[in-house]
Structure formats: C-alpha cells, structure tokens
Amino acid sequence: MGSEAPPPLPEWASEPCIMGIDEAGRGPVLGPMVYGCLYCALSYQKTLSTLSFADSKTLKEEKREELFENLKADESIGWGVDIIDPRELSDKMLRKNKINLNEISHESAMGLIRKALNLGVLLTEVYLDTVGDTEKYRVKLSERFPNIKFVVAKKADSLYAVVSGASIVAKVTRDRALRNWMPDETAELNRNFGSGYPGDPQTKVWLEDHKHSVFGFPSLVRFSWGTCMSYSKDFVEVLWESDATDEEERGKSSKRQKKLTSVGFTTVKERSEDIESSGKGRCKFFQARKLELLSQF
Amino acid sequence: MDGRDEGSSEMEAPIAVDLSRGSAAADLTGKVHQLPCCIKHDGPTPVSQYFKPKPTEMEVDGLKVEEAHFRGRKLHGTTVALPRGYSGFILGKKCHDQGNNGMNSQGWVTAATFEDITVWNHDAIPSKDDAFLRAFHWFTAANALHQTVTAEDLESACIDWELV
C-alpha cells in the first residue's frame, strides 16, 4: 500500500474497521486512473467526520495536498492506492476479449480490500461510490468478501467521511502521478496536458500538438477512449489480425460491416489478405506457415 | 511486396536482385519488427522514438518474451535469430537504363540486411507454434529436399515394383 514499506500493523487495525473507496481520473482521456482507500477503527469514525474533507472536487489543489499529508500523518488512519496506468487501460479495453472500464474499476477496488485484509486489518464495513449497477456491484462485492458489510451509494463521497477521505487520497495521487509522468517516448512532448478531460481546451490543444499519423498518440493517452476515435482521420489506417478474425467469427453482422465501409475500412476478406500471405493454392505445409511463392516482384 | 510488377509486362529484360552488401547497406539487426497488423503507410517514420520494446520475465518454449505497445494495444513478441547460413535482406528498387534499344532493366539492390527479427503478437503470448516462427521450418525441409540423392538413399526408398 502506498509507496513506502508497510509499517507494522497498528493496534487499532485489529478492532473492527471501516473503509471508504473512491476513484480519481475515470473520465479523462489521458493519464492513470487511481483507486484510493481510507480506513480506520469504527471507534474513530466520529473524529474522521470532523477532519473536514468535504467533496474533494470542490477543494483547491493545495488544500487537497494539505489534507492528504494530514491523513498520512494521522496514526489512526490507514490508506492505500492502486494506480492504473493508461497503457493498462488501453490494453485491457482493446483486447479481443475486452475488459470494460467498470470491470477494471471493480477489480481495482476489490484489490484494495484484499490488500488491507492481507495486512491483517479487520474490515467489517466498506463504503463505495457506485460503478455500474449499484445492487449488482454490492452483490459482487459481498460474494467476494462474505464477512464484510458493503454500502454502495451514488455520491458516496459526499455522504461518508471515509469515502471523501479516500477521494482525496485518489485525487492527490493522480495529480502527482500525472505531474511526475515519465513518458516512454523519446519524441518531443510538453507537459501542458491540462486536466486531461476531453472537454478541457488545454487537453484538446495537447492532443492536437501530440498526434502522430502512424503512432497515434503517446502512450499517456487512453486509446480506447471515444476522443481518440474522433482523430482517426488524422491517423493512417491500421488493420489488426485479431479484429479480422473477430469479424469472421461474428460473420453475419453485416450491419457492422456496412458501417465500417462507410468510414473507409476495407472488408474482412481484403483485410486478411493485406496482413498476411495466404499461401493460397499451395500445400498445407506452406499454408500453415503463411508462405507463398513470390515469383514476380 | 505485392504481386504487381509495373513495367515488366512491357519489356522482357530479366529482373536482377543484387544481394551484395555495399558500403551503403545498413545493418538492421535488432531493429526489424513483424507486427500483427497492417499499417497502411509506406515510408519513413520515427519508430525508435515511439516504439519501445521491453523485456519481460516470461519465457515460453525457450523464447524470451518482450512487450511493447502500438496504438494502445499491448503486444507480446520474441526476437529470433535467422538460422545459420541465412540473412534477411531489405531491397530497394533500382532502375538502370540499358541505352542501346532504350530498354530499361529493373533491378533490386540491397539497402539493408538483418540477422534477426522480432515477431509480435496481439492478444497472444508468442509460442513456437506461431505461423511466422514455423515458417523457418522451410529451411530444414528445403535442405532435405535439395540435398543430393545418393545410391544408398535410392535403395532404401525403393518401391517394390513387383507388388505394384
């Protein structure tokens, strides 16, 4: 949990504890998504409410930083984060067997709970903001952790101090991660991303400045986001083998194929021939290895 | 490469492929990547600035697995050395004017060579059963097929004509 070596388990953690979980950075088109948690003994709940977290979104950045430092210094409070890299988001959401954002979120939250339990924290109640269907989420959580009472609610961060505390942990962690982002790319990049939200004018400018016809965007950007799709006219077309097989298997969805041709995509048949030699007309040995005779070139 | 041969249908000069490695030929060993996609673009692009393969702890069938990202997709790949006695060639077109009867003879020259290739998969960890890696089996098969046949080979493979 956090980035320091875990301290020895405090005494209060062996008493019944409550935890709040919240996220930051779900909506932006760039940067990590962060899940944060905050936990303390049930007996500490009242004190927690006085620590004036309020809604992290309404606080100024400096105030949030200050609150986070206070939280970390408070010996009666434990916290943890899961920083989900944008490359992981792009990867999971663009696979053949797609993992959607809600699933990723659920797994992250459950990971935080698991970590606390593994540390020996006696969690009895966990409060979370809703992600997807509220009741389905609550049931999923209860099935994974039968000894915990779950409260899943809309705007949980404004209802429960543990959740608003968690939201501060998540937000500050995300802001720092973005500020300290180390790009993989050695291409020229500036750091004026803005908030990263697709509607943010500064973010829009950053995307325009950093788009590339072949590579798309730096990997800070979430390629699975609709925002990226809208830049497709600026990118050269890339046809993936796994998409082609996917369509062959789905085969009869001509409706989808029509849509694709209308935006300039080629048909499935053309695709697989583009991508690989078919070894057509040759014996199995060559076909299986995609080898064809090139007598003229 | 595609099957089109612009121009050669109009003329009958043979097409020459020059595999000699001139001083201009670059060595692209370690820099050639086979991606699991078709990029509809031909031309230079800043690959080394954007495409950053990294080693992983994984090893499958003796193949060391690397990972990289392209257009948001995570790729898993492995670098295979070309078998002994073989090299990879990147050819560039060269057009010489023959002069006399105004006949052009087309040719290819070696622009670069490479001794290994990194093969990338999307949504699948590389394995020795991947089609591309199996393509190298051809070298073994070709050697066996084209080896000189000895009298002993003929004898041991001989069909008993009396039974046919």
Where residue A258 falls (left for φ over 0; alpha for ψ -120 to 50; beta otherwise) is: alpha
Closest listed residue to residue B135, CA positions, set B34, B30, B29: B34
Average pLDDT for residues A75-90, to the nearest whole number? 97
pLDDT-derived band at B33 (thresholds 50, 70, 90) equals very high
Other Cβ atoms less than 10 A from the Cβ of A62: the count is 8
C-beta atoms of A215 and B132 within 8 A: no
Q: What is the pLDDT of residues A45-74, one digit of tens each?
A: 888 888 866 666 678 888 899 999 999 999
Amino acid at A94: L
A100-114, B57-71, B90-104: range with lowest mean pLDDT: B90-104
User: If pLDDT is split at 50, 70 and 90, which confidence band does A226 have?
Assistant: very high
ipTM of the complex: 0.82
Exposure letters A150-174 (e unless 16+ CB within 10 A, then b) = bbbbeebbbebbbbbbbbbbbbbbb
The pLDDT confidence band at residue A257, using thresholds 50, 70 and 90, is: very low
* Mean of per-residue pLDDT scores for chain A: 87
Mean pLDDT for all residues in chain B: 84
Instruction: Look at residue A217 and tell me whether its pLDDT is greater than 50.
Output: yes
Nearest to A187 among B46, B70, B131 (CB): B46
Q: Which has more pLDDT, A224 or A289?
A: A224
Q: Which residue has the higher pLDDT, A199 or A260?
A: A199
Residue A239 confidence (pLDDT) above 90:
yes
| Beta-carbon separation of A290 and B138 below 8 A | no
**What strands lie across the sheet with A17-24, from one edge to the other?**
A77-84, A33-41, A17-24, A123-129, A149-153
Residue A270 has pLDDT above 60, yes or no: no
Report the SS3 class of residue B91: strand
Q: Compare all CA atoms of chain B with the CA of A294 and give the residue at the minimum distance.
A: B3
Total number of residues shown for chain A:
297
Question: Residue A34's pLDDT is what?
Answer: 98
For A116-152, the pLDDT digits (tens) are: 999 999 999 999 999 999 999 999 999 999 999 999 9
DSSP state letters, A207-242: HHHH-BTTTBS-TTB-TTSHHHHTTGGGS--EEEHH
Give the per-residue pLDDT at B2: 43
Name the least confident of A151-160, A223-232, A249-258, B72-81.
Answer: A249-258
The verdict on domain B11-127 having CATH code 2.40.128.680 is: yes
Residues from B in contact with A at Cβ < 8 Å:
1-3, 5, 8, 15, 36-41, 45-46, 48-52, 69-74, 108, 122-123, 131-132, 134-135, 137-138, 141
Is residue B9 predicted with pLDDT exceeding 60?
no
Residues A196-217 have a mean pLDDT of 95
Q: Higher-confidence residue: B66 or B93?
A: B66
> Looking at the predicted structure, is the pLDDT value of residue A263 above 50?
no
Question: Which of A76-90, A260-274, B21-35 bottoms out in mean pLDDT, i.e. has the lowest?
Answer: A260-274
Selected residue of B38, B69, B137, B138 to mutate for chain A interface (largest A Cβ count, 10 A):
B38
Instruction: Kindly tell me if the per-residue pLDDT of B55 is higher than 70.
Output: yes
Q: Give the pLDDT band of residue A261 (cuts 50, 70, 90).
A: very low
What is the C-alpha separation between A295 and A65, in angstroms, rounded? Answer: 67
B45 chain-A contacts, CB cut-off 8 A: 214-215
Q: Where are the domains of chain B?
A: 11-127
Mean pLDDT, rounded, for A26-53: 92
Residue A138 exposed, middle or buried by CB count within 10 Å (0-12, 13-18, 19+): middle
Chain A residue whose CA is closest to B44: A214
Write out the two tokens for B138: 């051809």
